[in-house]
Structure 1
Amino acid sequence: MAQTKNPYYSGPVTDHFDGVRFFNPDGIEPGGFRDVLKWQFGSGRQRVPWPKTVESPFAPAKPEARISGEGLRVTMVGHASMLIQVTGLNILTDPVWSERVSPFSFIGPRRVIAPGIAFADLPPIDIVLVSHNHYDHLDLSTLKRLQQAHRPRFATPLGNDTIIRRAVPDADIVTMDWGHRLEIADGVSIDAEPCHHWSARGAGDRRMALWAAFVLSTPAGKIYHIGDTGFHDGINYRAAREKHGGFRLAILPFGAYEPRWFMKGQHQDPKEAVEGMQLCNAAHAVGHHFGTFQLTDEAIDDPLVRLKAALIVAGVAPERFRALQAGEVLDVPLE
């Protein structure tokens, strides 16, 4: 029997890599094919359809070229795609401007709301953070466009560089393992940190590329960005606080969580996102991963309803955890 090979990455065994596949230490493995069938075709499924199109209450943003000093500005594009402007740098997270998040152009989750920034209106992009290789986070079509228009530096966890380079051969890519640091400029760095998730581009490459959260350390404060994560008993949030002390801003997923029996290990819900904000000692949070592509069963507005309730229960002022709509801009307070 042929030994399984990893097409993306080859490296030493670690506490989260067994020589072929990455894994979450003491974590939950993603559901298998039978679980997918149970979810999709089980008699108890309660999928709430989304509208085909939604209008954002905000017009598409036209960002300034740069934000300097103590300013920290976040503009929502949609789903996990955001523009972070800080210390004169323009940073995109998991950029997706495509109509679908799928290996196919004609089928798969389709965008219901237009991007909050028209691609042509982007300011000069310096850094692109790609947290993992699921299609709603690693969109090769968009990465090609960014390379052609901006030639940014791409930072991504181990193995994802192989996927990106096949489509963008001349890209400047920095690959990062958990615990690795990338120095950007004086006083500016990026750390790759653990999150509880998984990866796959198809049926035969599950967990063969790493997933990660990112910590941006800047003179204007620290930013904790998570593309996707299960709550995992708050282990990674506590570790981030212990290592980094706290954050001016945490950018946290809080959507795509139903049904819980299937999604719990990979997508936290609003209550867990609020608890995560508190555990990592974030002064402010921006929520994402909602209202753009229907990936799971909950209604399009369910994350917002549950977030509001979770904030009340936790005693967190609603202005401290913002769920930005496409095109909405937030200047993050200093305190």
Structure 2
Amino acid sequence: MTAPPLGGENIVRYASELIGATPLLELVRTGSGSRLLLKLEQFNPTGSAKVRMAREMVLRAEHSGELAPGGHIVEPTSGNTGTGLALIALERGYTFTAVVDDHAAKDKLRAMKAMGARLVTVDSDGRGGPSSVRRRNIAAEIAATSGAYQPDQHNNPHNNAGYRDLAAELRKDLATDIDYLVGAVGTGGSLCGTVEELRRLGSGVCAIGVEPAGSIIFGGDPGPYRQTGAGSPAGFPVGRNVKYEVIDEDFRVGDIEAFATARVAARRTGILIGGTAGAAVHVALRRLVRFPAGSTVVVLVCDAGEKYLDSVYDEDWLVARGLYDRATEQRIVRLFRAYDESLRLAALDLERTGA
């Protein structure tokens, strides 16, 4: 028996070559023909969208001469930018120092250390929020005294530019325009950068920004929050990469609702998403019924939930911090069921009327 011919090999040499081409998952469809899709960025190396912009910032710094061969990178981070920079640094021969606090998920800190990053830890703000101002100041001191390159993700234009490929992937993978793009804001890069590129490519997308309740990005009173990777606390200057003119609607979501949505979505799909992604999905679920029939809604899921097994997905951790509310989870379950029922009724109506 003749063996079938061998195919060409599909092998990469560097983990960064695996960045991008992340999948879209349909989370829910309605009887009106609208659908809510998740852009699953946790399938990137490091489990986050932010590896896209980490690579772009480093490559641009090399090109401009800001980062010399064998150089040192320092950046304050809540974790995902840090793991992205740690990966790119080890591949390209740089030393990387991450300035962090204990508000960050422990597994993000462990991942950075596993990839050879040096961690400089500062005290959190003592109220359940990040110490963003202090982290930034210490990173600036390290850069000034050591000559290290600080990308400054909040103001570096190559943060936003790092998501051009994400926009192109969405255009390639969908046979229609995206009507609504929903995502956490944070530094502004993923949402604003993707929307800008989509619009440059001819999309009429409506951008919906989501922030933790207590973040100052959309104004209002500051307060503590446990969602990581998004939000700006009191006193933190919102960076230039948050482009308000790009964002059409803005919402704030509390930790209870964000985490409950992530937990319910995990039980529905078997895929774990991060807490800030839970907040974005929460807004999309609540708004879906109000969108025009046949709308395509995409949520940017920028983070993997496996990093939060000891927090978002740990009921004891939630209860200890007053963040577990069974009634909230049940409401989200009922919302999913209502959309499923609308789809069933639409199918029955089509069968009965043929129209």
Structure 1 length as normaliser, TM-score? 0.31
Larger strand proportion, structure 1 or 2?
1
Larger helix proportion, structure 1 or 2?
2
Structure 2 length as normaliser, TM-score? 0.30
Q: Say which one has the larger Rg.
A: 2
